[in-house]
Amino acid sequence: MQPKDKSKAPAVDHTVMILDLLAASSYPLTLSEICESTGIAAASGHRIINTLIEHQMVALDPSRKKSYCIGSKIFQIASTIYNKQSIIAFFYPIAEILKNEIHKSIFLCVPVGNKVVVVSKVESSLSSVFNIYIGQTMPLHVSASGKAILSMRPEEFQDSYLLAEDSLQENNPETESRIRDDLSRAKRLGYAVTNGEIDSQVSCISAPVLNLRNEPVAAISAGISGEMLNPQDARDYSKKLIQAARQLSARIV
């Protein structure tokens, strides 16, 4: 692995590291604990923490002396973004029906830049539990949901995306060719499939959700535990999945 280039904005990197650490922690952390976990110098950590407090991104937690937690501004920003996803309210009843029809856990993903983010899920009690969570982020070309969304984008968008992905430029040209074939197949069939997207024992199948302008705004996915999903099983699952995606599409302006 090549060494990471020296950051041009270390203060920004340190800020993100601190916010990530506080968000993941189950209890408030002191400055020394934050600096020890992140490797940030105490003086720098102190300055960043104080600035974040001023902006309400971090708050003092009264449950533990001189400790810090995520601030109210983070929740305000998250709530604003969440409320813009009006599609989520329509997703739940459709996902509940789909879950009961195919007995698999169902996920809703939306594109954010060059990534796809899990924004909602409905778990099936009959489906094996696997590691996918709300907020999980994956590259568009790696996930079934991302490929379903990317397949409905114009070729110019696909070209620009593939050209900008550093990981693809570093790999064998055959990788890009395979992804293009996957996108072409997904557009033709109306769904995309990946194996090992979440872990080595899980396959995913996903169908795009379109707005009135036929633009992909989300994707509905089903997680399937076990061996690689064979073409016949994929076709069987896809019938209900595509129907659910169309129902959700009909509710979007």
Q: In what order do the strands lie in the sheet with 67-70?
A: 29-30, 67-70, 58-60
Lowest mean pLDDT across 42-46, 124-128, 143-147, 155-159: 124-128
pLDDT in tens, 6-38: 677 889 999 999 999 999 898 999 999 999 999
pLDDT at residue 179 greater than cutoff 80: yes
Q: How confident is the model at residue 128 (pLDDT cuts 50, 70, 90)?
A: low
Please name each of the domains of the chain with its CATH number: 10-79 (1.10.10.10), 85-249 (3.30.450.40)
pLDDT of residue 88: 87
CA–CA dist 253, 251 (Å, integer): 7
pLDDT of residue 224: 86
Q: How confident is the model at residue 1 (pLDDT cuts 50, 70, 90)?
A: very low
pLDDT at residue 230 greater than cutoff 50: yes
